[in-house]
């Protein structure tokens, strides 16, 4: 994983984008983030706060499958939990807007190590 410590979300974002280079990983994140809203709705409709646990766990399950089996990297959540969470919602919004592929292309060369 990276050796530096990102202080701001702006510094972290290119790294985050690089860790989600493959479309399958991004779509797994998208599906997982979408489950948050489904589980929260179920919790509300059933008036059962236990479903909030599923709203927390489910997105990570989807995302980690993408990281461990598709990208073959370690989720940034382990080192940057807050920045990763915020970045996930930024990516989610960009995917809804159809802008995330362009974002990946923008940072593809800047996040690769120089040879």
Integer angstrom CA distances of residue 68 from 21, 25, 29, 61, 65: 13, 10, 13, 11, 5
pLDDT value for 110: 56
Reported confidence tier of residue 115, pLDDT bands at 50, 70, 90? very low
pLDDT in tens, 46-104: 999 999 999 999 999 999 999 999 999 999 999 999 999 999 999 999 999 999 999 99
pLDDT in tens, 51-61: 999 999 999 99
Residue 58 CA to residue 60 CA, distance in Å, equals 5
Residue 33 CA to residue 40 CA, distance in Å, equals 11
């Amino acid at each position: 994983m990276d050796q530096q410590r990102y202080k701001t979300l702006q510094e972290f974002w290119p790294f985050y984008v690089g860790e989600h280079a493959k479309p399958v990983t991004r779509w797994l994140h998208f599906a997982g983030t979408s489950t948050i809203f489904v589980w929260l709705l179920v919790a509300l409709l059933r008036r059962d706060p236990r479903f909030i646990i599923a709203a927390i766990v489910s997105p990570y399950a989807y995302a980690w499958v993408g990281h461990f089996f598709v990208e073959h990297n370690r989720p940034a959540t382990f080192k940057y939990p807050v920045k990763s969470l915020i970045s996930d919602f930024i990516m989610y919004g960009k995917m809804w807007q159809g802008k995330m592929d362009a974002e990946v292309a923008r940072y593809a060369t800047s996040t690769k190590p120089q040879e």
